Amino acid sequence: MRFIATKRCSPSVCARHFAHLRHGAQTTWLFVVFVLLVCEFSAQLGDRLAIITNVDAVRVGVSEAFSQGDCETTLYSSDNYLKCTFDLQLVPNTTQDVSDLIKLHTNSSNSRIKIRATRRGFHSSAGFVCSGRRSSSKKERVEFGDDHGRRSLRVTSYTMLLHVMNHVVSVDAEQHKLTVEAGMTLLELARVAEANGMAVPAGALSMYGNLTVGGVIMASAHGSGLGTVSSLGDLVTKIKWVNAKGEIIVSDLQTERGAKEVRALVGGLGLLGVVTEFTLKLQPNSRTIVDTRKGLDDTNLVLDLKKTLALETPHIIVHWRPDFESYKALLFTQVDDVNQSAAAVIPKYYPNARRASDIPVSDKMASAWSELMATWEDDAAEELPSADVLNTEICSWGESTHRMSMFLDIDGTPIDHGMFRTNSAILTGDCSPKCLYAVHHMGTFTEDTEFTIKFSQLEAWVQM
């Protein structure tokens, strides 16, 4: 189960929708900006859907999201919040290249070596991605000497970009196994699985389609599932990787040593070495029923979720707005293509439906959003006459997005209940480099705030 809570507007502010929208140049401008944002966002969903829902239209090339400001010694995160500065950039094409590069630079250097494998436009605000100095326009972290005042040993930092390594290595149709390189994106993985009559199990995929297979597995990023498959790491049966000596190793779950290595590598953040290939155990192609339930009262939120998990499906994504005293639940139930005897309860099949989030934001909308947020944030103390108007605008936008359907058909029709291809039921499209969270595009910073709560403690946390 994935749980997303947002706290932004107070109920008292949101209850005053447009109560302060009186006549006046500034108020009229704010209202126009808000209408532009909502209408433009809705229009884009329909305009972009024909591109992001068509499997054939998804580009299979170098899975690389270029971020503004990247160069040979600098790398930015996808939202441009985190900046990595390092000594040298390495771009291998094969596993042998990775091995050769590690041997070359470890044998030819008299200093300590630090190597981090990643990609351009990486999706993390955590500093471990950086091999050298890490910083941002919000904060600066500097490496200091040790506690005894001695000068730290020189560390040569290398960033190894794996975006070119995004190919299919092998397909075992009989065993439903797929071996792919670490730089392949989730969208590309879903396409390859579909083309070979396979499906990535419902709940195993993370939502954003431009994440890489290697990044998701090594960071132990998750999908949605309670007591069942809930991440790509759960599907790994074999890993090919290169250690610090440049040795190429294949770790297989079928051997005792290999099983230990796989368990250490999955979620290991690359501390043991650079992983280049994964073998995944998939399923026969299938479909998944998606049910979106909006405007649910949050009074008994945890109890309601427990009932749904016990009686309906272990795969749930929850968007909770405590300020609105409501939540939205997305339920995913996988249905085998060959086992649809209960046809009476099977909803309509939408072969081209996709998630409507994480689509590119137009320049017009980005500019309007930047102006609105700048005006709102310039009055942090809420002392100006426009404070109530601004709060109402932001809250109204929040409410409108909270009520939006999360899935659309190819013609833009909202879908709250339907059956989709399993490979596309959870994945979004690729919004880079014009994502809602990209600072150079939207003009505002977005910093991830993530935490984990034990399900047994969820009720106590919700009541805080």
Residue ending a domain, among 161, 186, 220, is 161
Which residue, chain included where needed, has tokens 């029923």? 289
In a domain, 41, yes or no: no
Q: What is the pLDDT of residues 430-448, one digit of tens each?
A: 888 888 888 888 887 776 6
Q: What are phi and psi of 303, to 5 degrees?
A: -60, -40
Shared domain for 115 and 261, answered yes or no, is no
Provide the token pair at 214.
Answer: 């290697």
In a domain, 255, yes or no: yes
In a domain, 25, yes or no: no
What integer pLDDT is reported at residue 46 of this predicted model? 42
Q: Cβ(83)–Cβ(125) under 8 Å? A: no
Shared domain for 294 and 429, answered yes or no, is yes
DSSP, collapsed to helix, strand or coil, labels residue 371 as helix
Shared domain for 172 and 244, answered yes or no, is yes
In a domain, 98, yes or no: yes
Our count of domains for the chain comes to 3
Shared domain for 144 and 245, answered yes or no, is no
Integer angstrom CA distances of residue 85 from 138, 139, 159: 16, 14, 9
pTM of the model: 0.82
Shared domain for 83 and 135, answered yes or no, is yes
| pLDDT surpasses 80 at 167 | yes
In a domain, 189, yes or no: yes
What integer pLDDT is reported at residue 60 of this predicted model? 43
In a domain, 60, yes or no: no
Shared domain for 104 and 220, answered yes or no, is no
Residue ending a domain, among 120, 136, 161, is 161
Q: What is the pLDDT of residues 243-292, one digit of tens each?
A: 999 999 999 999 999 999 999 999 999 999 999 999 999 999 999 999 99
Give the CATH number of the domain where residue 240 resides: 3.30.465.10
Shared domain for 78 and 115, answered yes or no, is yes
In a domain, 14, yes or no: yes
CA 224 to CA 99: how far, in whole Å?
A: 35
Of 14-28, 29-43, 134-148, 358-372, the least confident = 14-28
Shared domain for 314 and 278, answered yes or no, is no
DSSP, collapsed to helix, strand or coil, labels residue 79 as coil
Shared domain for 243 and 349, answered yes or no, is no
Mean pLDDT value of segment 178-198 = 96
Element (H, E) at 301: helix 301-311
Residue ending a domain, among 250, 284, 318, is 284
In a domain, 185, yes or no: yes
Shared domain for 292 and 274, answered yes or no, is no
Of 202-211, 321-330, 338-347, the least confident = 338-347
Q: What is the pLDDT of residues 381-428, one digit of tens each?
A: 888 888 888 888 878 888 888 888 999 999 999 999 999 999 989 888
CA 348 to CA 185: how far, in whole Å?
A: 29
Q: What is the pLDDT of residues 17-50, one digit of tens each?
A: 333 332 333 333 333 333 334 444 444 444 433 3
The domain in which residue 213 lies consists of 168-284
Shared domain for 368 and 443, answered yes or no, is yes
Shared domain for 315 and 385, answered yes or no, is yes
